Amino acid sequence: MTSHRLTSRRSLLKGAAAGGLLAASPLAARFASAQSEPIRIGFQQHQTGIGAAYGRWYGRTTEAAVKAINDAGGINGRPVEIVAEDDGTDPKRGAEVIEKFATQHNCDIAFGTLFSHVVMGSAPAAGELKLPYFVVSEGHHVASGALNRWTLQPGITDVKSQVSSMAPWVTDTLGKKVTMVFPDYAFGHDHRDFFSAAVKAAGGDVVGLIPIPPTETTFTKYFPQIPRETEVLYHVMVGPAVLTFVKELGEFFGPSAPAIFGFIDSLEAVDLASPGLEFLDGTYFWEGNPRYAQADQSEYDKAFRAAVGVDDTGASTSDAKDVSTYAHMWGCWETLYIIKAAMEASGYAGPDDRQALVEAVEAMTDMPEGMEHPQGPKLFNGRTHQVFGRQYVSQAKEGRLVKVHATSIEDTLYPDEVDYTTMSF
């Protein structure tokens, strides 16, 4: 927590310095001091536990976004301060941290959770405390209607839209007969259900389902279960054992593999040049945001990389071995800019305006590509509290990922499952 405190204090000073320009007259000084009480954002961060690799990059992205926002004058003239607390990637601690934000740290809002079970564990607390809770999780939990009016996901797309928008491309380009390998818990089951349905709709067929127990550390023994008629192998694994999974897949199939399509979740924060991953060359990945700078890179992506400290290969500019979670972490950046926009739209002044803040987010719709949305344009659905945006498919080529397909936003839409705006606060 200290490191974040330090940076946020530093950015606080900068914000104060910017405010100092106004302070030419005594009257302005009094006005500025009343106004420059910082906006406190509770950052629920996975500093330890299974999500720590993600948490670190979520932290770096958040720092960069807050610095950019403060350098440009903060929100409503007030600087932003991040209060980071570790949730240990644990739902119990997550709920406690939410309470700490609301009742101890006097935070205006809570933000930044990635792992679905922490979101599920924390959302009831956020709802009871009437604390706007902005998650960056890509889970389908928000849009499924399981949560509450105070929980929103405006800065990252959800797994249902990601998965179902991939299916038509997979069946058209790679093959019709798909076998899925997925972890045998909720995250994997979401992939199984949404992808199976979408493949069927696209005229394909899921010929094999191989659920892997989450406690597993070796995988080769499951590969003979892959039906021999398989044309496309779809994999999505998370956790520290994923590298083993991909390596063993290569060792099993060698050069005579079916087409392989995976979710980059399997290899977030992992160097593609790692030993054993040569096998992945030529295979395809879903990416939330292309890790390698592409030929048609937008100026916003370029500036985003520079701000966060990521080079053209998706690694830290200070350590090439420190690979980022590039497909997800932009969600923190965009979410913070949405918070800024909503606070400005609602004239947010303090905790009494929390309801107005949620309503201001719900009123949002189109979000054009720009420095606030470097990943691409977005469409927000206020009823389901969920944002929609482009998805990318990349191919591994000589240790890089090259973008081969981008969906439209329309490809990722699905019918509403909930209308949060009809629920009471």
For residues 23 and 34, give the distance between their C-alpha atoms in angstroms, rounded to a whole number.
12
Q: Which of 93, 70, 92, 90 is nearest to 80 (CA)?
A: 70
Q: Which of 35, 76, 77, 99 binds another protein (CB under 8 A)?
A: 99
Q: How many CB atoms lie within 10 A of CB 50?
A: 15
Identify the residue among 32, 82, 163, 242 touching another protein (CB under 8 A).
Answer: 242
Binding pattern for the stretch 161-180 against another protein, x by CB under 8 A and - elsewhere: --------------------
Asked whether 292 and 402 are in contact (CB, 8 A), the reply is yes
The correct pick among 323, 336, 358, 396 for binding another protein (CB under 8 A) is: 323
CB contact at 8 A, 410 and 378:
no
The correct pick among 104, 317, 365, 408 for binding another protein (CB under 8 A) is: 104
> Applying CB under 8 A, does 324 fall inside the site for another protein?
no
147 sits near another protein (criterion: CB under 8 A): yes
Task: Name which of residues 382 to 411 contact another protein (CB under 8 A).
Answer: none
**Binding of another protein by 189 (CB under 8 A):** yes
Q: Within 107-146, which residues bind another protein (CB under 8 A)?
A: 116-117, 120-121, 123-125, 127-128, 139, 141, 146
User: Under a CB-based contact definition with an 8 Å cutoff, are residues 98 and 132 in contact?
Assistant: no
Q: Which residues on neighbouring strands pair with residue 205, listed in sequence order?
A: 177
Regarding 224 and contact with another protein (CB under 8 A), the answer is yes
Please spell the DSSP secondary structure of 6-29, one letter per residue. HHHHHHHHHHHHHHHHHTTSHHHH
User: Binding to another protein by residue 42, rule CB under 8 A?
Assistant: no
Asked if 372 interacts with another protein (CB under 8 A), we say no
**Nearest Cα residue to 61 out of 325, 269, 313:** 325
318 lies in the site for another protein, by CB under 8 A: no
CB-wise, 93 or 378, nearer to another protein? 93
Binding flag, residue 96, another protein (CB under 8 A): yes
Determine which residue in the list 26, 254, 368, 415 makes contact with another protein, applying CB under 8 A: 254
CA distances from 26 to 18, 29, 213 (A): 16, 5, 66
- Which of 205, 311, 312, 322 is in the footprint of another protein by CB under 8 A? 322
Name residue 134's beta-bridge partners.
111, 152
Q: How many CA atoms lie within 13 A of 206 on its CB side?
A: 19
Q: Does 217 bind another protein (CB under 8 A)?
A: yes
Taking alpha carbons only, the member of 343, 346, 347, 361 closest to residue 150 is 361
Contact characters 269-308, another protein, x per CB under 8 A: xx---xxx--------------------------------
Q: Does the CA dihedral 103-104-109-115 come out positive or negative? A: negative
CB of residue 257 vs another protein: minimum separation in angstroms?
8
Dihedral pair phi/psi, residue 204, rounded to 5°: -100, -170
Provide the minimum distance between the beta carbon of 420 and another protein in the complex, in angstroms, as a whole number: 13
Q: How many residues are recorded in the chain?
A: 425
Single out the segment in contact with another protein by CB under 8 A; choices: 7-15, 60-68, 162-170, 225-233: 225-233
Nearest by Cα to 259 from 395, 160, 161: 395
Pick the binder of another protein from 25, 27, 228, 318 (CB under 8 A).
228
184 sits near another protein (criterion: CB under 8 A): yes
Give 69 or 120: the residue with its C-beta nearer to another protein: 120
Choose the stretch contacting another protein; rule: CB under 8 A; options: 248-256, 285-293, 298-306, 331-339: 248-256
On the CB side of 176, CA atoms within 13 Å amount to 6
Q: Residues 251, 299, 344, 398: which binds another protein (CB under 8 A)?
A: 251
